A and B are shown apart, each in its own frame.
Chain A
């Protein structure tokens, strides 16, 4: 149990660091860097908890992104209107860039694979790319849901 909480804290802390770092890279206003950290930490904490509860990467990422996007949409009533910067930056640490790179590397490895290794390399590469695709679809869908259910009030033309 202690190991789980330690792991959760570790993932949340470094998720927050990654989100805050990318917040600076994206020229986020200084007053929002702490919010970016919290957003990334919450996202990684929910994802880690989900994975510990036997959800796969895509499912856990979906719930993590949904929690962050919903929280931002609800809290936006009390904030200035700044789109969905915080949830977007918070979800950046969950973008499976490393898995995508490994998937592409496995496909590249097909070029020099021995005949008996080809199927293994191809299957592993495709599996990783499918995982990336489903995870990205899950994050994107979860980020869009709060805005689709509770859209911003737009002025009526005409």
Chain B
């Protein structure tokens, strides 16, 4: 234990643990990673025992040091994916483990993460998302005339999603709106450019909405012994896919009526 000279109060360690778990969860990490990192932080800060109960919307932490123990619960916000945030937390935890950073300073840095972590410009994210969906289209066998409409439709969809998420709109309604807009634009462009695969192109354009990381985390949480967290993630994934599909069906009815 490298914190032998100074041990922070258990309540501070518990608060730090909850912050770690919350930001990791909101950044798209699996339950196992969250458990491991909280254990590592608790160990570095002189705890004898750490128990973590990770749920979809809340995390409970129980820490013990000698005869003293502390239980705290914290809420988790909307789940997303942000890999730079995850890396920033790991960097903070490395410094805590090597005793370069005290518990209170680590808490301040964790609280600042939403303001200090850099992001790509929105236009670049939209463009890259568009090209990713265009690549998906090519993987599904979409012809070249439909490639550009897929890129434009998906990029526009990502821009709409960003605008709605900034305004904290409901994730499922956002998904439905983005799906219908992306698929409609793509279907329109594919028809105008004479594509032979407009239906496949519309499906490719909405793939930015498939919660791929959440799907894989669901699998890993189930395999790694966290079935309740996996079930909650799976239910959310299912509703997102239904919202996406309904938007896609509506757009295809509008732009590809003979389908």
Residues of A within 8 A of B (CB): 10-11, 14-15, 17-29, 32, 44, 81-83, 85, 88-89, 91-93, 95, 97-98, 100-102, 104-105, 108, 136-137, 139-141, 143-144, 147-148, 152, 154-158
Q: Say whether B60 faces chain A, with CB atoms less than 8 Å apart.
A: no
Q: A155 to nearest B CB, angstroms? A: 4
**Quick check: B129 and A95 within 8 Å, CB to CB?**
no
Q: Ordered nearest first, which 3 A-B pairs have the shortest CB separation?
A: A140-B219, A21-B132, A97-B210
Name the interface residues of B182-223: CB closer than 8 Å to any CB of A: 200, 203-204, 206-208, 210, 212-213, 215-216, 218-220, 222-223
**Quick check: A137 and B219 within 8 Å, CB to CB?**
yes
Among the listed B83, B125, B207, B220, which residue makes an inter-chain contact with A98, where contact means beta carbons less than 8 Å apart? B207
Among the listed A23, A88, A104, A158, which residue makes an inter-chain contact with B241, where contact means beta carbons less than 8 Å apart? A104
Whether A97 touches B43, Cβ cut-off 8 Å, given contacts A108-B249, A158-B49, is no
Can you name 28 A-B pairs with beta carbons within 8 Å? A11-B139, A14-B135, A15-B139, A18-B133, A22-B212, A24-B128, A25-B125, A25-B128, A26-B28, A27-B83, A27-B84, A29-B83, A83-B29, A85-B83, A88-B213, A92-B213, A95-B216, A97-B241, A101-B241, A101-B244, A104-B245, A105-B248, A136-B218, A140-B216, A143-B220, A144-B223, A154-B39, A154-B40
Contacts of A144 in B (CB 8 A): 219-220, 223-224
Among the listed B40, B129, B140, B242, which residue makes an inter-chain contact with A21, where contact means beta carbons less than 8 Å apart? B129
